[in-house]
Copies of this chain bind each other. A is one copy, B any other.
Amino acid sequence: MLKRCTNNPIIKPAMVNPSFDGYHVMGTFNPGATVYNDEIILLMRTAENCEEEKGFINIPYYEFKNGTSNANILRIAENDPDLIRKDTRGFLYKGIDYLSTISHLRIARSEDGINFKVDDKPFIFPCIESESYGVEDARITKIGDTYYINYTAVSKDGYVTTLVTTKDFKTIERKGIIFPPLNKDITIFEEKVNGKYIALHRPDNHGFGLPSIWYADSPDMIHWGNHICLLRPDGSVYESQKIGGGAPPIKTEQGWLVIYHGKGDDSMYSLRLLLLDLEDPSKIIKQSKKPVLVPEEDYEKQGFFGNVVFSNGTVVKDNGEVYIYYGACDDTVCLAFSTIDDLLNMF
């Protein structure tokens, strides 16, 4: 099992400034992770709603015009007959859908990987119609001096996976939608295999089997093909609903090490290991018999969405130590430690 950091949760919503006057940070969680200029960088999904105001419903939304976007608040009297409450997640107002919370991606920076300072402003925020319900769950893949960031973009058309690149964590270059609806949990390997980029993805096969982890490859990281179903949920208490990839796989002498998540009974999320063939990552070498992290601590069991540990960012140190960042309960950022040797011994 992984060893939790005693400082957990290492980042809480109170440490994050709202992105807009009148917004309120509900959760900051599920961080992508990488190293840039000797600092560890986390790119956190940060969910905001509006501050409460008596007699009114205040709803966060973004305006998109000519390629720019502006955060905004829709202020509606509680008894406005045009307001329809759909469920806890959304509203219908004058025929238009709104969400009660919207996520953006925020950077946190650290020298030791444990104590973080959060940027004042969002790094990536909803910018086009395909992101109008928010941007979520970034993965960062470093190749050369370029950081490839993929994230889930949600809109009325469904959830898709979008790719952007950065070299400085200040500006980004948009590369478009790389996996169309409904697909998330995309994790791109940090080097080419047999001349091709490799990714794991998680299409939603609603109405058929349980959502599974798929393999794909690409000549350019923009166009993806050769899709193969790699691993299906085992149906156990830990994987009775679905599974999905996590951070970019870690290259080891024995194979590509994948820390993936399962969603099981009572919607509990846990982490488990998979080892893929070095030369052909569409082949599984082995799978850990059990999860290596399940919700046990209070901060993993109680929160906005209880019983969730979800990792999409790891950092491997030169000495083989592995820092495994994870979101707890869609609320906070947590950290667990291991080493490559220890992880390989968990199979």
Contact = CB atoms under 8 A, between A and B. Distances in A.
Nearest to A129: B229
B157 A209 contact: yes
A158 interface: yes
A176 B222 contact: no
Contact of A216 (B180, B207, B214, B218): B180
A262 B182 CA distance: 21
Interface string A222-265: 11111111001000000000000000000000000000000000
B214 A180 contact: yes
Contacts of A206: 158, 182, 204, 206-207
Contact of A201 (B158, B180, B229): B180
Given A157-B208, A203-B182, A223 B219 contact: yes
B220 A203 contact: no
A205 B182 contact: yes
A224 B223 contact: yes
Interface string A165-179: 000000000001111
B224 A177 contact: no
A16 to B, nearest CB: 28
Contact of A225 (B176, B207, B226, B229): B176
